[in-house]
Amino acid sequence: MSVIARWRKPSLARQEAIFGFIFIGPWIIGFLALQLGPMITSLVLSFTEYQIVAAPKFVGIDNYAKLFTADPSFLDALKVTFTYGLVATPAGLVLGLLIAILLNQNVPGLMVWRTVYYLPAVVSGVAVGMLWVWIFHSEFGLINLALRIILGIQGPAWLAHPSWALWALIIMSFWGVGGSMVVNLAGLQGIPTELYEAASIDGATWWHKFWRVTLPMLSPVLFFNLVMGVIGSFQYFTNAYVMTGGGPGRSTLFYNLYLYKNAFQYFKMGYASALAWVLFLIIMLLTVLIFRSSPLWVHYEGSVKGR
């Protein structure tokens, strides 16, 4: 009599586990091939000199050393990106919050307003860049036209002037506050009205209500917007590339744009990879900082902080 090894049906738990892996399989493969793999490759390449026509040549931390000591463009890029981040992100947050508060009340045509404000946040790309190039035109652009008619002053040549090009891009970023506005609106509508009623009973003014009720209850949403805003500002590329290409001099040479130039115009892949990883570290550091600071000011429902 032969002993036939029988395939024992796996246990239920095991079966479920197998199915689980099959279900997440596509994502895992995608992640490994398209995200983790390139990340590791780029990390390895950042220690080499790779110009595509030849094999990568190992140079150790040469790229990083050159980055931090001998590259004025890198410092310019950092300066530009940080300026943009420090100005545009908080201003955008505040603006988004204000508009959300405004549109949280019963104004006529509410749905229209909300749609109108949100619309610019969904259009993107080169077309928007070209549109804003026209708006910023020094003679016939809307902004200079308005300045001339209303205030009687001659506006600067926005995108052609080294001091004004970055400000033009910052002003342009304000048209995207609709995105954070929508999230803020959702957060605002999640604040229980009993809190406001209780505050009124206690004799709170509108300022007290705003500062002591609205903001703390909204802080998780604001936290989210802040983190997204910071990460987004460090990844700013399309508009700089389309509208100014680095700007007069290096006044709008954003970090991502500089990375792109190094990678795809100068074909210095090793150097560009080093740049990419430095950017990653910077963003990670900032995000960690923001997260670490969150217990101080972010109130999640159910946790009691302060008095």
Partner 1 sequence: MKILVAEPMSPAAIELLRRQPGFEVIESNPKEYEQHLGDCEAMLVRSAVKVKADTLAKAPRLRVIGRAGVGVDNVEVPAATAAGVIVMNAPLGNIISAAEHTIGMIFASARHIPQAHAKLTKGEGVDKQWGTENIQPSFDFKFYPFVWQNGGDLFNKDYTECILNQEKAVQAFEFIYALRQYAPAPEEAQSGSPQSGKLMMWGDWELMNTLFVGQLPFEYSVAPPPASPNTGEIMFCGDAPGWAMPKGVKHPTESWEWMKFLFTPESLFRLFVAIAAPPPRISMLQTDEYFKKHPKYPNPELCFEITQMRMKAFKNTPKISNYEEAKTAMGEEMSLVWAGTMGLKEGIDKVTAKWTELVKEAVIDPDVGCAGKFC
Residues in touch with partner 1 (CB under 8 A):
51-54, 57, 138-139, 157, 160-163, 246-250, 261, 265-267
Q: Which amino acid is at 91?
A: A
Rounded-to-integer distance, Cα 236 and Cα 84, Å: 9
Question: At closest approach, how far in Å is the CB of 152 from partner 1?
Answer: 16
Q: Which is nearer to partner 1, 229 or 247 (CB)?
A: 247
- CB-based contact 56:41 (threshold 8 Å): no
Q: Which is nearer to partner 1, 50 or 236 (CB)?
A: 50
DSSP-based three-state secondary structure for 258:
helix
Q: Which is nearer to partner 1, 72 or 203 (CB)?
A: 72
- CB-based contact 84:95 (threshold 8 Å): no
Question: At closest approach, how far in Å is the CB of 83 from partner 1?
Answer: 17
Residue 57, strand partner residues: 49
Q: Which is nearer to partner 1, 125 or 245 (CB)?
A: 245
Rounded-to-integer distance, Cα 141 and Cα 112, Å: 27
DSSP-based three-state secondary structure for 48:
strand
Question: At closest approach, how far in Å is the CB of 48 from partner 1?
Answer: 13
Rounded-to-integer distance, Cα 181 and Cα 122, Å: 13
Please give, one letter per residue, the 3-state secondary structure of 174-198.
HHHHHHHHHHHHHHHHCCCHHHHHH
Provide the 10 A C-beta neighbour count for residue 284: 11
The torsion of the CA quartet 34, 38, 40, 42, rounded to 10 degrees, works out to -160
Question: At closest approach, how far in Å is the CB of 276 from partner 1?
Answer: 19
Q: Which is nearer to partner 1, 261 or 299 (CB)?
A: 261
> Which residues have a Cβ under 8 Å from the Cβ of 181 and sit 6 or more positions away?
96, 99, 100, 103, 114, 117, 118
Q: Which is nearer to partner 1, 170 or 263 (CB)?
A: 263
Question: At closest approach, how far in Å is the CB of 257 from partner 1?
Answer: 11
Q: Half-sphere exposure (CA, 13 Å, Cβ side) for 255?
A: 24
Question: At closest approach, how far in Å is the CB of 69 from partner 1?
Answer: 14
**DSSP assignment, residue 237?**
-
Question: Taken in order 241, 247, 252, 254, is the CA torsion positive or negative?
Answer: positive
Q: Which is nearer to partner 1, 16 or 139 (CB)?
A: 139
Q: Which is nearer to partner 1, 120 or 248 (CB)?
A: 248
Instruction: State the helix-helix crossing angle for 165-173 and 72-102, rounded to 10 degrees.
Output: 30
